[in-house]
Chains A and B, each alone.
Chain A
Amino acid sequence: MKIMRYIRWTAFLMAAAALSLGITRAASASTTSSATGWVRLAHLSPNTPAVDVYLYSFGNPSAEQVLHHVGYGVVSAYEPLAAGEYTVAMRAAGAASSTKPVLSATLTVAPGGAYTVAGLGPESGLRLEVLQDQLTAAPGKAEVRLIQASLKQHEVTVTWNGKPTVTNLAFGSVSSYQTVSPATATLRVTGESESANSTITIAAGTVHTIVVLDGSKGLVLDDLLDAAGSDAVPAGAAGTGFGGTAPRVPSPLPWLSLIGAGLLLTMMGGLGVRLMPRQRGRHAR
């Protein structure tokens, strides 16, 4: 009985703490949402070592964001960022502390806007490009965009559901969004010497970015969900590439996991269940 009481008390305290933290976070998000946009980082330069990326706010030094150790194929989750202008800089991950970040681009964050800061091209010509992400699709349709990040295949052509969608997309370039009909179908990417297929479900109202990557055994396709049908907030945790380092950026997912775990503990504690399954947050692949 003592054990059960202990479990109940523990569950109650965890749930309370989790809810408290979650509410704080949600409130914070709601009060700043009108003046924030969303930013994620994508390292899509195959032969470039991992980098740290810095976003320096023009108007508010405390709004600086640092994304650590982002390797090839990794796409961070969307992070809220105060609207305004930012200088984007980067430095090699793990470089000596005396190494200074190199300025690369500017990012203008509009309220409600979503952006991908993508490292594109080969290491010798690495550039950070700011891509404006779309959050809405036409009624009953979906939007798909392609980023060609395979250095081994200089150009690729993409068919969706058997229909050509993007043709001869060069390495380091990004297509515009294409309007497609929702379906679960085969996405086929064909390069000069390699091709890859992936069965992907594209639902109505969703917005996707498909990234073509060099994998150890050929082309790899990464399906990023830019928006899941809401015009307010992008689809939070974007998927990431294969084998890369999971993003070390702060994410609401741990809070949500904690809330879920707390609630579950509360329920299970109340029911007298002795063994509690562990909730896992959604992490980058």
Chain B
Amino acid sequence: MAAVLVLVAVVAVGAGVAGVIIGRSGRSSSVPAVAAGASATTRDQAASWIAGQVAASAIVACDPAMCAVLHTDGLPATRLLVLSTATADPLGSDVVVATLGVRNEFGIRLQSVYAPVVIASFGTGAGRIDIRAIAPDGTAAYQAALAADRRSRISAGSQLLRNPRIIVTGGARNALSAGDVDPRLLMMLAALADQQQVRITAFGDPSPGASPGVPLRSVEIAAPGPGAEAAASLRSMLSLIDAQRQPFQPLRAALAGSSALKVEYAAPSPLGLLGGP
């Protein structure tokens, strides 16, 4: 029975997306009224960000026009929850793309009930598109989990700063002590530092317009020195990172030449991975 329901849902989503795609002649063509207000550029920016930054397992809720753009950008229909006037809520998804149409549809409930936190934002004014993380158990529970997670990140970051094998420069030091770093990165750094010295040069923020407190999901690690030994050290770190499974498998991890390693995790950052103080 459940399998039938899932099949029906997938077919419905696919049909909706396909219908919208059929009605379009290109990425920047005219879009249904529900997405009115957002420029094609803004839509494309938002879609590119979702395709490149959101976890591959995440379900994305969007209006028909936005879903069509996302489908064009490579998101399969099975990952799209098409919102329409008949949709009661965006629950069941992991992130919701808040175009003007979606904001009008759900009103203040979008922020106060379903998705309190913006993880990225593009454009301005009425044409703005926010990508919001869904709070499956309600806003209050989500905010409480967010606050607890931040406390845990502060505690974990402070412990990493005391680790003699972790060398951190100014900005990165502040990010660790302020609890601004994604918990998956914190856990990974502890494991890496168990093997060798880790020189953190920066934590990155690939989430433009995110709400305050949304964790930084990328890190740059410098080679511990010049030469082949340092490069081997980075390759050793990369092999440990590449061996991981979800949720610790990063979105991207690559060497930048022989002098640096960049690791980036997908959005949204999971809550509750750290035990907390």
Is B160's CB under 8 angstroms from A87's CB?
Answer: no
- Chain B residues, Cβ within 8 Å of A182: none
* List of B residues within 8 angstroms of A64 by Cβ: 194
Verify B188–A61 contact, CB threshold 8 A: no
In the complex the two chains form, is B194's CB within 8 Å of A85's CB?
A: no
The answer to whether B187 touches A106 (Cβ under 8 A) is: yes
B245 touches A85 (CB 8 A): no
Q: Say whether B239 contacts A86, CB under 8 Å.
A: no
CB nearest to A104 among chain B residues: B248
Contact A85 B163 (CB under 8 A): no
> How many A residues touch B, CB cutoff 8 Å?
23
The contact of A56 among B194, B273, B276, by CB within 8 Å, is B194
Contact yes or no, A102 B243, CB < 8 A = yes
Q: Is A100 positioned at the interface, with any CB of B under 8 Å from its CB?
A: yes
What is the number of contacts between chain A and chain B, taking CB atoms within 8 Å?
72
Partner of B159, one of A59, A89, A102, A130: A59
User: When the two chains form their complex, are residues B245 and A58 in contact, meaning their CB atoms are under 8 A apart?
Assistant: no
Q: Which of A53-87 contact B (CB under 8 A)?
A: 54, 56-61, 64, 84-87
B191 and A89 within 8 A (CB): yes
Whether A108 is near chain B, meaning CB under 8 Å from some CB there, is yes
Q: Are B156 and A85 in contact (CB under 8 A)?
A: yes
- Give 1 or 0 for each of A99-135: 1 = CB within 8 Å of chain B CB: 1111100111000000000000000000000100000
Q: Are A59 and B162 in contact (CB under 8 A)?
A: yes
Residues of chain A within 8 A (CB-CB) of B183 are 106
Most B Cβ at <10 Å: residue of A57, A101, A106, A108 = A106
Are A84's CB and B274's CB within 8 A?
no
Contact A103 B239 (CB under 8 A): no
A108 touching B190 by the CB < 8 A rule? no
User: Are B275 and A87 in contact (CB-based, < 8 A)?
Assistant: no
A100 touches B243 (CB 8 A): yes
Q: How far is the CA of A89 from the CA of B243 in the complex (A)?
A: 11
Q: Is the CB of B191 within 8 A of A59?
A: no
B199 to chain A, nearest CB (A): 15
- Give A8 to B183 CA distance when docked, in angstroms: 60
In the complex, residue of chain A having the shortest beta-carbon distance to the beta carbon of B236 = A100
Please name all residues of chain B whose beta carbon is closer than 8 Å to the beta carbon of A56 when the two chains form the complex.
190-191, 193-194
Flag whether B227 is at the interface (Cβ < 8 A): no
In the complex, B145 has a CB within 8 A of chain A: no
Interface residues on B, range: 20 to 34
Q: How far is the CA of A58 from the CA of B187 in the complex (A)?
A: 8
Inter-chain contact B191/A108, CB cutoff 8 Å:
no
A55 CA / B194 CA spacing, docked (Å): 9
Contact A100/B240 with A59-B160, A61-B163, A108-B275 known, Cβ cut-off 8 Å: yes
- B237-253 contacts to A, CB under 8 A, are 239-240, 242-245, 248
* A103 vs B194: C-alpha distance when bound (angstroms): 13
Q: Are A58 and B156 in contact (CB under 8 A)?
A: yes
Of listed A59, A60, A101, residue having the most chain B CB within 10 A: A59
Min distance, Cβ A3 to any Cβ of chain B, angstroms: 52
Closest to A86 in B: B190
Closest to A89 in B: B191
Instruction: Give the residues in chain A near B152, CB-CB below 8 Å.
Output: 108
Q: Which residues of B contact A102 (CB under 8 A)?
A: 243-245, 248
Given the complex of chains A and B, what is the CA–CA distance between A101 and B242 in angstroms? Answer: 11
Q: Does B99 contact A (CB under 8 A)?
A: no
Query: Which of B187, B273, B276 has the most chain A CB within a 10 Å cutoff?
Result: B187
A56-B191, A85-B155, A85-B156 known; A106-B273 Cβ under 8 A: yes
Q: B186 near A: Cβ within 8 Å?
A: yes
Contact of A61 among B194, B240, B244 (CB under 8 A): B194
Q: Given that A106-B275, A108-B277, A130-B275 are known contacts, is A85 also in contact with B159, CB under 8 Å in the complex?
A: yes
Which residues from chain A sit less than 8 Å from chain B, CB to CB? 54, 56-61, 64, 84-87, 89, 98-103, 106-108, 130
A-B contact pairs, 10 of them (CB 8 A): A57-B190, A57-B194, A60-B163, A61-B164, A85-B275, A87-B187, A100-B239, A101-B191, A106-B187, A108-B275
**Chain B positions near chain A (C-beta within 8 angstroms):** 152, 155-156, 159-160, 162-165, 183, 186-188, 190-191, 193-194, 239-240, 242-245, 248, 273-277
Please name 19 further chain A to chain B contacts, defined as beta carbons within 8 Å, in addition to the given A85-B159, A89-B191, A106-B274, sorted by A numbering.
A56-B193, A57-B194, A58-B186, A60-B162, A60-B163, A61-B165, A61-B193, A61-B194, A85-B274, A85-B275, A87-B187, A98-B239, A99-B243, A100-B243, A101-B243, A103-B187, A106-B275, A107-B275, A108-B276
